[in-house]
């Protein structure tokens, strides 16, 4: 029989862990934290920083705890005078290759390198500083890469290449000249980068950060001529709290509404409302394709701008499969500057629409195509990520935790549980199916069948077959772009053989876990954290009386008073968009 676990000792403490567990992980099981700057819980070890060296009984060398599996009978020592001394020198070396600019850095106070330097009590620059000056890359407008702050841990490259399969970032050159950059002397915006921001979410330092637009928002808020409105995305409510010491997954919707009003926003909307709107359009689209055979199957969701960009660059043969429905952010933007403006009698030119998103790619979506100006103005003016909002709240001096819950503003504030789960992988699918079922059968799903469990979870690709009024509906969900290819290849193969597609409906989210794991969310994302955030959304959904998008009264009013029919002429003009193939490399 093959042993499934190994017994070993760490600092004299016995441990028993599954075969293949790294020394680093094994040490955590006995409450020993081995310092590391390159190993991220979410990623494979890159063995770059050299801080996690340990002593083991059967070797004179000092293996890296992150990349060495603990073996049966191994005795490991993680901390002694020599190890600490070597780690300290190594850390000083890393610091000597990093600008001394903490006070003006985007990661000040939330930086792993800074934290490590503080823990080691480094008080002096013993080794002269050498930093290669390179212009920061601001070309994407979503993320800012400052190469000089990079410690070459390799996380961004691991996540960009392996997790996301984007391959925008790579290690170029070697030795002290090594840097992470797109292939050749091009900017990020000329590369296949889809601005998902996963690199920034995993970066241990300020080398890759979101493009901070808080100053723009502050300025807008102070401008008396502007009527500032705001929307918050579903996944923001369960993650923002982490920045204020709440356990991950805590739903803070009411507090967030309250703080946004305090910050000076005149109307507080919820993107979740628009998620319901998206579902109405998308489900209608699905029914049209599935029942009436108008349009390509499978229908593929398009709420995620990073995924849209990826598809346009990589899988342009799937353009006709894409749902033309805009993302909730853009739908809310256009509704705010048309419907809301009309209702409230405000000049839409005065409305300044801010959206708070878990995502850096959303910053790109604002100007993606002409359709993003459907209201006659730029529908959404600026996007803040969750991290930026947390920063604004802290700047404002508002005691966030003490605030009493408030409600969102009508007419774009009521939402259903179906909209809430948009933030989790599989959520869009689940929400759409709830409404599509109704559209096809004329009835709602039974109470116990509302949770469509097969599409939930964290496996990279999940598929399910549902029986809708005697019809078999085959659906699939993928998250993390490295999982998309297999799925699409199945569809392509069927297409080539002229067979029926293996799926009717596919949901794709670029970031692992969906929006709750977005590139603009608080740091430290790993599967454990993703589960907690998803749990937060699912609980909120389950607790809501309203669980179907089509039952959202505000949505019903909206169609009746303003939009007309789903997929109708006005809906089409305001709520739908187009896609075009693009070259991955512009140079």
Partner 1 sequence: MPESVPVKAFQELLDAVPQVLFEQWIRIGMDTGGIAAGADRLWDVFEKECAVTGVEAVLQRTGTCGYAYLDPLVELKSSGHAPVLYGCVDEPLAVRIVREHLLGGRLIDDFVVAPRRRSKDLGEADNIVLVKDSSCEGEDRTATAQSLLLKALRHHGLQDRVQVVRALDMGIYKEGLVVQLLPSGVTYTNVLNRDLERIVEQSIRDRAIVEDLLFNEPDPQTRIVLRNCGSIDPECLDDALRHGAYAGFARALGQGSPGQTIDCIRESGLRGRGGAGFPTGTKWKLTRDVEADLRYVICNADEGDPGAFMDRSILEGDPHSVLEGLMTAAYAIGAGKGYFYIRAEYPLAVKRVELAIAAARKRGLLGKNILGSGWDFEVEVRLGAGAFVCGEETALIASIEGKRGSPHPRPPYPSVKGLWGKPTCINNVETLASVPWILTNGAKAYESLGSGNSRGTKVFAVTGKVRNPQLVEVPMGTTVSDIIYKVCGGVQDDVPIKGVQTGGPSGGILPEKHLETPITYENLQKLGSIMGSGGMLVMDENDCMVDVSAFYLKFCVDESCGKCAPCRVGGYQMLQLLLKISRGRGSEDDLVQIDRICEAMQSASLCGLGQTAPNPVLSSLRFFRDEYSAYIEGGTSYARKRKKALSEGKSMKEAV
Partner 2 sequence: MYKLRKIRFSYLIWETFCMNASALAPMETMDPELRGMVERCLQEWEGREGNLIMILHEIQNRHGFVPREASLFLAEAMGIPMARIYEVLTFYHYFKLIAPGKHNLTVCNGTACYLKGSGRLLTELERRLSIKDGETTEDRMFHMESVRCIGCCGMAPAMVVDQKTFGKVAVTDVAGMIERIRLQEESDA
Q: Catalytic site residues? A: 282, 285, 303, 323, 362, 365, 371, 515
What pairs with residue 208 in β-bridges?
Answer: 145
Distances (CA, A) of 179 to 94, 132, 193, 225, 417: 14, 10, 17, 45, 45
Distances (CA, A) of 34 to 11, 63, 94, 527: 12, 12, 17, 20
CB 386 within 8 A of CB 239: yes
Residue ranges in 181-220 that form contacts with partner 2 under rule CB under 8 A: 182-184, 189-190, 192, 211, 213, 215-216, 219
Tell the smallest beta-carbon distance from residue 142 to partner 2 (Å). Answer: 9
Residue 69 touching partner 1 (CB under 8 A): yes
Letters for 418-457 (x = contact with partner 2 by CB under 8 A, - = none) are ----------------------------------------
Using CB under 8 A, pick the residue from 16, 82, 527, 569 that binds partner 1.
Answer: 82
Report the length, in residues, of the chain. 587
Pick what 103 binds: partner 1, partner 2, none; C-beta below 5 to 8 Å, kind-dependent: none
Q: How many CA atoms lie within 13 A of 224 on its CB side?
A: 0
Letters for 534-553 (x = contact with partner 1 by CB under 8 A, - = none) are --------------------
Tell the smallest beta-carbon distance from residue 580 to partner 2 (Å). Answer: 7
DSSP string, 227-250: EEEEEE-GGGTTTGGGGGTPPTT-
For the chain, the helix, strand and coil percentages under 3-state DSSP, each to the nearest 5: 40, 15, 45
CB within 8 Å of 400: residues ≥ 6 apart: 244, 255, 259, 393
Q: How many CB atoms lie within 10 A of CB 168?
A: 27
**Region for residue 180 given its phi and psi (left: phi exceeds 0; alpha: psi -120 to 50; beta: otherwise):** beta
Cβ neighbourhood burial of 166 (10 Å; 0-12, 13-18, 19+): buried
Using CB under 8 A, pick the residue from 1, 31, 81, 174 that binds partner 1.
Answer: 174
Pick what 190 binds: partner 1, partner 2, none; C-beta below 5 to 8 Å, kind-dependent: partner 2
Outline where DSSP puts E strands in 314-360.
351-357
Helix (H, G, I), strand (E, B) or coil at 56: strand
Letters for 440-479 (x = contact with partner 1 by CB under 8 A, - = none) are ----------------------------------------
Distances (CA, A) of 359 to 100, 190, 510: 29, 20, 10
Residue 165 touching partner 1 (CB under 8 A): no
What pairs with residue 353 in β-bridges?
Answer: 229
Q: How many CB atoms lie within 10 A of CB 399?
A: 10
Q: Which stretch binds partner 1 (CB under 8 A): 127-135, 337-345, 532-540, 556-564?
A: 127-135
Residue ranges in 342-381 that form contacts with partner 2 under rule CB under 8 A: 367
By C-beta, is 394 or 586 nearer to partner 2? 586
Tell the smallest beta-carbon distance from residue 156 to partner 2 (Å). Answer: 12
Residue 151 touching partner 1 (CB under 8 A): yes
Cα(376)–Cα(134) distance, integer angstroms: 40
By C-beta, is 90 or 463 nearer to partner 1? 90
Q: Name the nearest CA neighbour of 159 among 128, 122, 200.
A: 200
Pick what 319 binds: partner 2, partner 1, none; C-beta below 5 to 8 Å, kind-dependent: none
Q: Which stretch binds partner 2 (CB under 8 A): 49-57, 168-176, 318-326, 523-531?
A: 168-176
Residue 50 touching partner 1 (CB under 8 A): yes
Residue ranges in 264-385 assigned as alpha helix (H): 271-290, 305-314, 328-335, 341-344, 361-365
Using CB under 8 A, pick the residue from 52, 145, 169, 393 that binds partner 2.
Answer: 169
Q: Which stretch binds partner 1 (CB under 8 A): 67-75, 246-254, 433-441, 560-568?
A: 67-75
Residue 49 touching partner 1 (CB under 8 A): yes
Letters for 309-348 (x = contact with partner 2 by CB under 8 A, - = none) are ----------------------------------------
Residue ranges in 83-102 that form contacts with partner 1 under rule CB under 8 A: 85-87, 89-90, 93-94, 96-97
Letters for 177-216 (x = contact with partner 1 by CB under 8 A, - = none) are xx--------------------------------------
Residue ranges in 291-327 assigned as alpha helix (H): 305-314
Pick what 347 binds: partner 1, partner 2, none; C-beta below 5 to 8 Å, kind-dependent: none
Outline where DSSP puts E strands in 146-233.
170-172, 179-181, 208-210, 227-232
> Interface with partner 2 by CB under 8 A: which residues?
138-141, 161, 167-174, 182-184, 189-190, 192, 211, 213, 215-216, 219, 367, 580-587
> Interface with partner 1 by CB under 8 A: which residues?
45-51, 53, 62-64, 67-69, 82, 85-87, 89-90, 93-94, 96-97, 126-128, 130, 151-152, 154, 171, 173-178
């Amino acid at each position: 029989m093959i042993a499934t676990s190994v017994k070993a000792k760490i600092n004299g403490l016995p441990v028993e862990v599954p075969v293949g567990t790294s020394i680093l992980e094994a040490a955590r099981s006995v409450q020993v934290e081995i310092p590391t700057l390159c190993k991220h819980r979410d990623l494979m070890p890159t063995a770059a920083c050299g801080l996690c060296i340990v002593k083991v009984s059967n070797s004179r060398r000092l293996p890296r705890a992150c990349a060495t599996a603990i073996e049966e009978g191994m005795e490991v020592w993680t901390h002694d005078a020599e190890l600490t001394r070597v780690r300290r020198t190594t850390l000083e070396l890393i610091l000597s290759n990093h600008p001394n600019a903490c006070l003006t850095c985007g990661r000040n106070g939330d930086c792993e390198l800074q934290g490590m330097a503080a823990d080691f009590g480094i008080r002096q620059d013993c080794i002269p500083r050498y930093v290669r000056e390179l212009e920061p890359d601001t070309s994407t407008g979503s993320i800012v890469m400052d190469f000089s702050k990079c410690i070459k841990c390799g996380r961004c490259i691991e996540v960009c290449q392996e997790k996301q399969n984007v391959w925008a970032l790579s290690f170029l050159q070697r030795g002290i000249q090594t840097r992470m950059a797109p292939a050749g002397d091009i900017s990020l915006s000329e590369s296949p980068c889809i601005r998902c921001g996963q690199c920034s979410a995993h970066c241990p330092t300020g080398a890759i950060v979101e493009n901070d637009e808080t100053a723009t928002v502050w300025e807008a808020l102070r401008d008396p001529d502007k009527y500032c409105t705001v929307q918050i995305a579903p996944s923001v409510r369960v993650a923002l709290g982490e920045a204020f010491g709440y356990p991950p997954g805590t739903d803070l919707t009411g507090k967030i509404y309250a703080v946004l009003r305090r910050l000076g926003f005149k109307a507080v909307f919820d993107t979740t409302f628009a998620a319901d709107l998206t579902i109405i359009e998308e489900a209608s689209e699905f029914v049209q394709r599935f029942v009436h055979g108008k349009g390509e199957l499978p229908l593929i969701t398009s709420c995620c701008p990073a995924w849209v960009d990826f598809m346009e660059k990589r899988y342009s043969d799937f353009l006709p499969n894409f749902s033309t429905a805009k993302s909730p952010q853009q739908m809310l933007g256009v509704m705010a500057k048309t419907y809301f403006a009309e209702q409230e009698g405000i000049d839409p030119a005065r409305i300044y629409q801010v959206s708070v998103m878990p995502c850096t790619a959303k910053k790109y979506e604002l100007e993606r195509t002409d359709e993003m100006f459907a209201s006659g103005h730029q529908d959404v003016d600026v996007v803040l990520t969750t991290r930026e909002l947390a920063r604004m709240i802290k700047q404002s001096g508002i005691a966030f935790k003490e605030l009493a819950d408030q409600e969102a503003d009508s007419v774009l504030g009521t939402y259903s549980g179906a909209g809430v789960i948009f933030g989790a992988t599989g959520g869009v699918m689940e929400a759409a199916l709830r409404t599509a079922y109704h559209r096809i059968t004329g009835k709602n799903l039974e109470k116990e069948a509302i949770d469509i469990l097969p599409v939930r979870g964290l496996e990279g690709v999940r598929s399910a077959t549902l029986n809708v009024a005697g019809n078999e509906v085959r659906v699939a969900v993928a998250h993390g772009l490295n999982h998309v290819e297999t799925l699409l290849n199945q569809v392509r193969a069927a297409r080539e053989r002229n067979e029926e597609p293996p799926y009717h409906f596919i949901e794709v989210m670029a970031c692992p876990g969906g929006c709750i794991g977005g590139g603009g969310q608080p740091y430290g994302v790993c599967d454990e954290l993703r589960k907690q955030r998803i749990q937060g959304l699912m609980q909120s959904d389950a607790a809501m009386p309203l669980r179907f998008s089509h039952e959202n009264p505000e949505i019903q009013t909206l169609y009746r008073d303003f939009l007309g029919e789903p997929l109708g002429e006005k809906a089409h003009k305001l709520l739908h968009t187009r896609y075009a193939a693009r070259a991955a490399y512009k140079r």
